[in-house]
């Protein structure tokens, strides 16, 4: 499905990002992962991708730093020749009620989640324009659509991604560049693993489908958006939330 395609995934070493990377590799794509460090998790993910036949490589990059993003994107383009798919997945949380949020809690979440998405997209957009082809998939959140108590900074960053996605879709559609966003709900990752068992059970019971999602549920939608079957879809925000926000 993605044979001869080169993809970049930010935050691709664990959770949803790792599931996307593996799904891409299983379907024939070569995958470049941008991560904050060469951790054990990153090395393990890289090994798994290579075992699937992908020309997978790891690039250590802090997406909050525009100069670093620019250097890494140039390196990736030099190594792969061209990039066909960009998945902006890197994200963090710093949850608290608004009066208790420190300046750093606001800055860190906006810098990684929103500005990082913008910096990375900006770094690759000229290459997409040059080749008159490109596919950008941004990982937002259902919280960016509906808000959530204790997540003012996170919700604002994810809502910003939605506005950014629609703007890029409008600006570059005529250049054969598509840009869509996915809004996951409660997905079983390290972020949700921090919740206690009682809270996890209560969340699941509140959902129409009655269970938390898995990273693979998001990865399947990303795969669809990355392929030709979605060629006439752009500027959309698609929820993967088990009915959380109906």
**Residue 1: count of CB within 10 angstroms of its CB:** 15
H-state helical runs in 81-235? 103-109, 116-131, 143-146, 152-172, 190-193, 197-206, 215-226
Q: Report the distance separating Cα 186 and Cα 21, nearest Å.
A: 20
Strand ranges inside 36-155, DSSP E = 57-60, 85-88, 134-139
Residue 239 contacts residue 142 (beta carbons within 8 Å) = yes
Q: Report the distance separating Cα 87 and Cα 161, nearest Å.
A: 12
Question: Closest Cα partner for 136 from 149, 115, 146, 122?
Answer: 122
H-state helical runs in 132-196? 143-146, 152-172, 190-193
Among residues 119, 154, 172, 186, which one is catalytic?
Answer: 154
Catalytic-residue membership of 154: yes
Q: Is 242 helix (H, G, I), strand (E, B) or coil?
A: coil
Adjacent-strand bridge partners of 67: none
Q: Report the distance separating Cα 202 and Cα 19, nearest Å.
A: 25
Sequence-distant (6+) residues with CB within 8 A of 59 are 32, 33, 34, 35, 72, 75, 76
Question: Closest Cα partner for 85 from 163, 15, 9?
Answer: 9
Catalytic positions = 154
């Amino acid at each position: 499905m993605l044979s001869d395609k080169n993809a970049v995934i930010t935050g691709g070493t664990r959770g949803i990002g790792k599931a996307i990377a593996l799904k891409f590799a299983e379907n024939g794509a070569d995958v470049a992962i941008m991560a904050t460090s060469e951790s054990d998790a990153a090395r393990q993910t890289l090994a798994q991708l290579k075992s699937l036949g992908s020309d997978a490589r790891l690039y250590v990059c802090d997406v909050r730093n525009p100069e670093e993003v620019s250097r890494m994107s140039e390196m990736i383009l030099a190594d792969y020749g061209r990039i066909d798919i960009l998945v902006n997945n890197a994200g963090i949380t710093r949850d608290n009620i608004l009066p208790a949020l420190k300046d750093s809690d606001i800055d860190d979440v906006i810098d990684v989640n929103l500005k990082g998405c913008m910096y990375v997209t900006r770094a690759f957009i000229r290459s997409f324009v040059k080749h008159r082809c490109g596919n950008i998939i941004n990982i937002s959140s259902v919280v960016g659509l509906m808000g959530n108590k204790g997540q003012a900074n996170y919700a604002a960053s994810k809502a910003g991604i939605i506005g950014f996605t629609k703007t890029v879709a409008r600006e570059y559609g005529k250049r054969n560049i598509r840009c869509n966003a996915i809004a996951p709900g409660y997905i079983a990752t390290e972020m949700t693993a921090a919740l206690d068992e009682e809270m996890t059970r209560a969340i699941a019971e509140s959902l129409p489908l009655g269970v938390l999602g898995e990273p693979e549920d998001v990865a399947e939608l990303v795969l669809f958006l990355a392929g030709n079957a979605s060629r006439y879809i752009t500027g959309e925000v698609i929820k993967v939330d088990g009915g959380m926000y109906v």
